Amino acid sequence: VEIARFVLSEQLRPEVAAAVRGLRAEGVAVELLSGDRAESVQRVAAQAGIGQARGDCTPQDKLAHLQTLQAQGHHVAMVGDGLNDGPVLAGAHVSFAFGRAVPLAQSRSDFVVMGENLALVAQALWLARRTLRIVRQNLWWAAAYNALCVPLAIAGYMPAWLAGLGMALSSLLVVLNAARLARLPDPLSHESSGDCAGAPRAVSTPLEVV
């Protein structure tokens, strides 16, 4: 006679599915590697919308998979919070740990996310790409201005005061262009409770979420 039955399971954080959808929509491949049992890992991956998932992974398994992806030319971002994540956090191109992660994981990570909201990781990647885009725009503008106006001023075809004014306006334009980062809308914020952001990248980039 069965007297009692206990079923233990972990609930998926509410922002995870939206964050994964945002990453995939922008071309980021998301993978799940975990030391938990394969059955549990597959169940969590299905709930989160992650197609590639592996369970029963040792720290060496995770590191070997990371190195395989890097050898294939991928840029890999790693998210982890456990003791067994230390080697792969240190080996990834960029790594994230949460504020409640073990000290070893935090010390091996490039970024420590305050709180436990996975959407903040996606938001950091999303913002980094847009920052790089604006930096490139500013560099191209500065190079074009200097290549055109400086030779004209040296040759005497442009008055010195006009060249100086143009340089000041060029610097102002660069600052205003950079200020757009503070006003960029998050195109994926509507998918969660208001703070979920996508993290687009130009190439397929595996992101491990553990």
Residue 1: predicted pLDDT: 67
Same domain, yes or no: 81 and 166: no
In this structure, the answer to whether residues 103 and 203 fall within a common structural domain is yes
Q: What total of structural domains would you count in the chain?
A: 2
Q: Is residue 164 part of a domain?
A: yes
Report the mean per-residue pLDDT for the chain: 81
The Cα-based distances of 199 to 59, 133, 161, 168, 202 in angstroms read 26, 14, 44, 34, 10
CATH of the domain at 54: 3.40.50.1000
pLDDT higher at 200 or 34: 34
Residues 69 and 117 in one domain: yes
155/90 same-domain check:
no
Q: What is the pLDDT of residue 184?
A: 63
Instruction: Output the pLDDT for position 7.
Output: 75
- Which of the four pLDDT bands, split at 50, 70 and 90, describes residue 192? very low
The predicted model gives 58-82 an average pLDDT of: 92
Q: Are residues 29 and 69 in the same domain?
A: yes
In the numeric block, the tokens 């409640």 are attached to: 100
Contact criterion met (CB below 8 Å) for 106 and 86: no
32, 60: one domain: yes
The answer as to whether 22 is a domain residue is: yes
pLDDT 10s digits, 73-97 = 999 999 988 888 888 999 999 999 8
The residues facing 53 across adjacent strands are: 32
- Does 151 share its domain with 181? yes
Mean pLDDT of all residues in 19-46:
88
In a domain, 167, yes or no: yes
- Tokens 């969590």 belong to residue: 44
Yes or no: say if 124 and 96 are a contact pair by the CB < 8 Å rule.
yes
Residue 32 has pLDDT above 70, yes or no: yes
**Signed CA dihedral, 88, 114, 201, 208: sign only:** positive
Pairing between strand 30-33 and 207-209? parallel
Domain with 115, as residue range(s), is 16-122+199-209
pLDDT over 60 at 196, yes or no: no
Residue 181 included in any domain: yes
Angstrom distance (rounded) from CA 22 to CA 3:
45
- pLDDT higher than threshold 80 for residue 10: no
- Cβ atoms within 10 Å, residue 155: 8
- My answer on whether 25 and 100 are in the same domain is yes
| Per-residue pLDDT at 20 exceeds 50 | yes
- Asked whether residue 107 falls in the same domain as residue 169, the answer is no
61 and 40 within one domain: yes
Residue 2 within a domain? no
Mark whether 107 and 179 lie in a shared domain: no
Q: Among 56-60, 157-161, 175-179, 197-201, whose mean pLDDT is lowest?
A: 197-201
Distances (CA, A) of 173 to 80, 99, 169, 179: 40, 38, 6, 10
Q: What is the pLDDT at residue 185?
A: 62
- Is 11 among the domain residues? no
| Cα dihedral sign, 148-151-157-159 | positive
Kindly state whether residues 76 and 44 are assigned to the same domain: yes
Cα dist from 114 to 13, 27, 85, 97, 198, whole Å? 16, 26, 18, 9, 18
Element spanning 138, H or E:
helix 119-155
In 35-142, which ranges are E strands? 52-54, 77-79, 94-98, 111-113
pLDDT at 74: 92
Q: What percent of the chain has pLDDT over 70?
A: 86
**Is residue 153 scored above 70 in pLDDT?**
yes
pLDDT digits (tens, 9 = 90+) for 127-146: 888 889 999 999 998 888 88
Q: Is 9 domain-assigned?
A: no
Residue 158 inside a domain? The answer is: yes
Q: Give the pLDDT of residue 144.
A: 86
Which pLDDT belongs to residue 103? 86
Q: What is the CA radius of gyration of the chain?
A: 23
**Above 70 in pLDDT, residue 43?**
yes
